[in-house]
Amino acid sequence: MTEKEKQQAGELYNGNDPELVAERVTAKKLCAEYNAATYNDYQKKNRLLDRLLTFRGENTWIEANFFCDYGYNIIIGDNFYANHNLVILDCAEVTFGDNVFIGPNCGFYTAGHPIDVEQRNSGLEYAKPIKIGSNVWIGGNVCVMPGVTIGDNVVIGGGSVVVKDIPSDTVAVGNPCKVVRKITEADKKK
């Protein structure tokens, strides 16, 4: 089994494998080109996203600066907006539903390292997928950690560190991020 196959299977793998390094270099170059593009050169930015991402729906906009590891593990639905300094460490799949809005300085981190010092120091790492539902608003400076699923119709408060799944129709905030309340009919009138 190759290191990439181990990575995609969720097993421990060596991130310094030449195939994985080459793929990261390709993605980093595309990110750099995207970030350097003139702000309103929409055609160029869209072409670069099409080369970088597995899939993106209609109306995708990512403010510069944007960074990812591979790109091919990122799937974005319709009506996606990410403010400045989005980081997606997509060693495993990261999926965003429709109508997702992300504040500035947010990170989605599928990569993790073993607690065991010998494994960690040997260069081994793991990756667990992240899934973000539809109609989700993520405030600024939020970190979403490996293996987390955020349901539909969720608001994540700014500065949160999301280490566990968040159910649909809730507002969650904090470090660690916790549900503080359900979204109600009264919220629709504000």
Active site amino acids:
113
163 burial type by CB count under 10 A (0-12 exposed, 13-18 middle, 19+ buried): middle
Say how far apart CA 13 and CA 71 lie, in whole Å: 18
CA Rg, the chain, in Å?
A: 17
Tokens read off for 131:
């899934």
d(CA 77, CA 96): 6
